[in-house]
Amino acid sequence: MHRSSGKSKNSKASHAPKQKISYEKKADPAISEYSTSSLNWLRKAEFLMSAPKLNLCVEDTGYEIAFAGRSNAGKSSAINALTNQKQLARASKKPGRTQMINFFSLGNPDQRLVDLPGYGYAAVPEAMKIVWQKELENYLIHRKSLQGLVLLMDIRHPLQHFDVMMLEWAYSRHLFVHVLLTKADKLNRGPANKALLEVQQQLKKMKLNFSIQLFSSLNKQGLEELASVMAGRLNYTLDKTLGFDLDAIPELSADDIEDEFIDQDAEADLDVENIDGNINEKPE
């Protein structure tokens, strides 16, 4: 006789819940520790000096990395967010200082962050632009302590004419560049990642092998990644004596973002297309 199982024909056998498999790459604890320590180190930033000419700059020793980009790319906001000081970049700018090279020490005069005037905005007399053009060229070509550039571009308007010229010029000089797609908070996650991929592909087509990331001063996106890149170029060694709480960084409001800086603190229009006669020539 057939023994009944006690279950109806339509009943489904119970199954153990399926185990969810994650394909996400786990962060390396050592890398994470270096990133947070790097951020903590950058909080030590202090205004050092401004210089109108190369021969008046800080002594050319140690390591420095310079921030460059269009006038409305969010350069000052990025520096302030990175150093956890709302007024650091703006407070260091007195009338006329935007045509100068601004130096910030990072707890050590031989480790520096450099703020270069923005380009692409006509705000100074032509004669002054020509003078500054020459000084910028002198700085980028002859500054031995310069370890590379952080080139900022608005994620909604990347790879503008002057941006491409600066990238090609840096490539021709074998100068390290880390591209920052700023104001990533202006786009949703999907469109932002799509924009990142498109810029990566365009750089690849131009044979410009530079690192690139998303960044937002408003919501603190990308701070640790940028800090790690800078620390590596500036010869920073891990400091295990200090902790760092990313949530302790004060929120930036829209008023703190650099878009409005143009009206109150116009930056020099740097004609990067004419920096060095070989700007469009790539090395063999």
Tokens representing 183? Answer: 């104001």
What span, in angstroms and rounded, lies between the C-alpha atoms of 41 and 239? 8
Q: How high does pLDDT run on average in the chain?
A: 77
Superfamily for domain range 48-234 = P-loop containing nucleotide triphosphate hydrolases (3.40.50.300)
What's the one-letter identity of residue 89? A
Of 179, 173, 182, the C-alpha closest to 221 is 182
For the chain, domain boundaries: 48-234
| CA distances in angstroms from 89 to 56, 129, 258, listed in the order given | 20, 22, 10
pLDDT digits (tens, 9 = 90+) for 22-44: 334 455 555 578 888 888 889 89
DSSP label at 137?
A: H
Looking at residue 24, its pLDDT comes to: 44
Tokens representing 242? Answer: 């200090």
Tokens representing 107? Answer: 């707890």
pLDDT digits (tens, 9 = 90+) for 77-123: 999 999 999 888 764 444 334 568 899 999 889 999 999 887 765 55
Q: What sign does the dihedral 144-100-112-65 (CA atoms) show?
A: negative
Looking at residue 224, its pLDDT comes to: 92
Percent above pLDDT 70 for the chain: 67
Looking at residue 164, its pLDDT comes to: 93
pLDDT digits (tens, 9 = 90+) for 173-189: 999 999 999 999 999 99
